[in-house]
Amino acid sequence: PQSPVHLAVDLGASSGRVIAGGMADGPSGGQKLVIREMHRFANHPVRVHDSLYWNVLSLWQNIQDGLTGAANEFDQVRSVGVDTWGVDFGLIDRNDQMTGPVRCYRDPRTNGILDKAFDRVPREQIFQETGLQFMQINTLFQLFAATEAGETSLEAARSFLMMGDLFHWMLTGEKSIEVTNASTTQMLDPRTKKWCVDLLDGFGIPHSFLCEPTEPGTTLGNILPSVSNITGLVDVPVVVPATHDTASAVVAVPADGFAPQRPDWCYISSGTWSLMGCELPAPKVTPLCGELNFTNEGGVRNSTRLLKNIGGLWVFQQIRQAMARRGHDVQWAEMAAQAADAKPFELLIDPDHGDFLAPPDMIDAIEAFAAKTGQKKPESPATLYRAALEGLALRYRACLAMLEQLTDSEIKTIHIVGGGSQNELLCQMTADACNRGVVAGPAEATAIGNVVMQMLGTGQLNSIEEARVLIRDSFAAKRFEPSDASIWDAPAERFNQLAAES
Ligand code: ADP
Ligand code: LRH
């Protein structure tokens, strides 16, 4: 890109990156949006005894390294913004210090918490107030567990910040809570965007440390002199993007229009998690939505992301790690190639099964699952790779039917964005299993969505529709047409039964 650029810090649950985005002359005239990766780094939870934490200081170090690289490269940086995964948070005490390390949402302290929570406040009431899919990882349940355990960090807390807000605070000294990530907490009313304080009282969770949510596009303040000294970036404002990575990714879906009443497309934001859903003008907090366990997360410009959290490529990632532990270093492309050659439907696994949330070893967990569900022990790594991908495609198929029912619409196109859009086998499986056309890309949708929200905030762009036209013109997408859809029918039936039983 040509200066001035916007810097998107995009932190996913498997990796983080600092990306510079801005305009450049296209090859055949006209201006395009161009991104350039300044820094990429791994991100993994760190175990201490039984607990799981994020390495926040390492992330902060890497963010600063990325910003330093950008300061060296570009004459002018117009703004910076951070997006991250949802539900996790940091706490700040009365002396403006972090109260301790940040827990990872896979930390086991929330195991079994949902039943305990429903004894306190009925499930229906929680759904009615928050409109969110029930998952033990949600902030509400993390805070409930912390309250019940008498965690001292909670007692010392004066400010609560979601992950993006935490890094914005490190950058500027300003404390804020951005609304799209706040919407993942299960503590916010999706209609009014107000905190559900009565609900929090019901759980005995403190709430004086919550501030009013901020809209994406807001200018928070300039980066602090201490950060300028390290990075070389001077007088650069933080312009808050949609700090929830999924919300940023949805902004960058190269579709037509914005938040239609009756959508004919849906998205899958494909990374560690798969977030599959529609962008709608308003929340749907209906009994059917509760029954199907969908979520009404907040999108930009007051839109709603009606979606389902699906266990995503986490299983695939963790199989890779388990292979490495066994002395085999396999790359994504190799795993996909072996999966393509493996026999279809040898093993069915449900990516959302609790056994796969945080097992010490994913291959052991899958073998145990196969035994438990009366399936054959997987004979080769290729069977494992294929099962992880087929399990996702089968979940997408079920989810698509639910989405059409919920939105009373016919979905013609599935947009897959995020790192997983580079897995062509998974894209083709999705097209086949769902019997719909798939448009794959951009792979860096989250960072691109982060950049365009900063461009909207600083007046370089005027609307989401305009941003999407620009994105479509600037980044190539790949189409996958369905073929052999019917071979998925019988496995889908077996899969749905297995998911219901386990
Ligand atoms: P997150 O933001 O959750 O960390 P990403 O959007 O970065 O996730 O996606 C990471 C996933 O994308 C990886 O787990 C991997 O399965 C997939 N992926 C990344 N690069 C490739 C590639 N070159 N080919 C196929 N799959 C890839
Ligand atoms: C995806 C994501 C998802 C959350 C999960 C914790 O990265 O933000 O939307 O539910 O992480």
pLDDT tens string, the chain, 502 residues long: the values are 999 999 999 999 999 999 999 999 988 888 999 999 999 999 999 999 999 999 999 999 999 999 999 999 999 999 999 999 999 999 999 999 999 999 999 999 999 999 999 999 999 999 999 999 999 999 999 999 999 999 999 999 999 999 999 999 999 999 999 999 999 999 999 999 999 999 999 999 999 999 999 999 999 999 999 999 999 999 999 999 999 999 999 999 999 999 999 999 999 999 999 999 999 999 999 999 999 999 999 999 999 999 999 999 999 999 999 999 999 999 999 999 999 999 999 999 999 999 999 999 999 999 999 999 999 999 999 999 999 999 999 999 999 999 999 999 999 999 999 999 999 999 999 999 999 999 999 999 999 999 999 999 999 999 999 999 999 999 999 999 999 899 999 999 999 999 888 7
pTM metric for this prediction: 0.98
At 26 the pLDDT is 87
- Measure 229 CA to ligand 2 centroid, in angstroms: 33
Q: Which atom belonging to ligand 1 lies closest to the Cα atom of 245?
A: 2
User: Nearest Cα to 102, choosing from 210, 13, 1?
Assistant: 13
- Ligand 2 center to residue 351 CA distance, Å? 15
Catalytic residue from among 107, 189, 245, 432: 245
Q: Three-class SS string for 435-490? A: CCEEEECCCCHHHHHHHHHHHHHCCCCCCHHHHHHHHHHHCCCEEECCCCHHHHHH
Q: Please tell me the residue having the least CA distance from ligand 2 atom 1.
A: 85
The 3 state secondary structure assigned to 104-131 is CCCCHHHCCHHHHHHHHCCHHHHHHHHC
Residue 271 — φ and ψ, nearest 5°?
A: -150, -135
pLDDT for the residue 378: 97
Identify the sign of the CA torsion 129, 269, 111, 498.
Answer: positive
Dihedral (C-alpha) 492, 494, 497, 501: value to the nearest 10 degrees? -130
Tell me: cis bond preceding 482? Omega within 30 of 0 counts. Answer: no
For the CA of 10, the nearest atom of ligand 1: 2
Determine whether the shortest distance from the Cβ of 313 to ligand 1 is under 6 A: yes
Residue 168 contacts residue 231 (beta carbons within 8 Å): no
Ligand 1 binding pocket mutation candidate from 318, 423, 424 (most atoms within 8 A of CB): 423
Q: What local confidence, expressed as pLDDT, does residue 27 receive?
A: 84
**Does any ligand 2 atom lie closer than 6 A to the CB of residue 309?**
yes
Measured CA to CA, the distance from residue 498 to residue 353 in angstroms comes to 10
Q: What is the reported pLDDT for 101? A: 94
pLDDT at 502: 72
Protein residue with least CA distance to atom 11, ligand 2 = 85
**Pairwise CA distance, residues 292 & 25, whole Å:** 47
Residue 318: alpha-carbon gap to chain centroid: 17
- C-beta 142 within 6 A of ligand 2: no
* Spacing, Cα 272 to ligand 1 middle (Å): 7
Respond yes or no: is residue 245 known to be catalytic: yes
Helix axes 381-407, 489-501, angle to 10 degrees: 90
The ligand 1 atom at the shortest distance from the C-alpha of residue 336 is: 25
Helices (H), 149-300: 152-156, 163-172, 179-182, 197-203, 225-231, 245-251, 287-291
**Ligand 2: nearest atom to the Cα of 269:** 1
Q: Is 14 in the pocket of ligand 1 (CB under 6 A)?
A: yes
The answer to whether the CB of 105 is under 6 A from ligand 2 is: yes
Note whether 102 and 54 are within 8 A (CB).
yes
- The residue whose CB lies within 8 Å of the most ligand 2 atoms, and thus the one to mutate among 82, 106, 184, is 184
**CB count in 10 Å sphere of residue 152:** 11
Determine the distance separating the centroid of ligand 2 and the alpha carbon of 230, expressed in angstroms.
30
CA of 20 to the centre of ligand 1 (A): 19
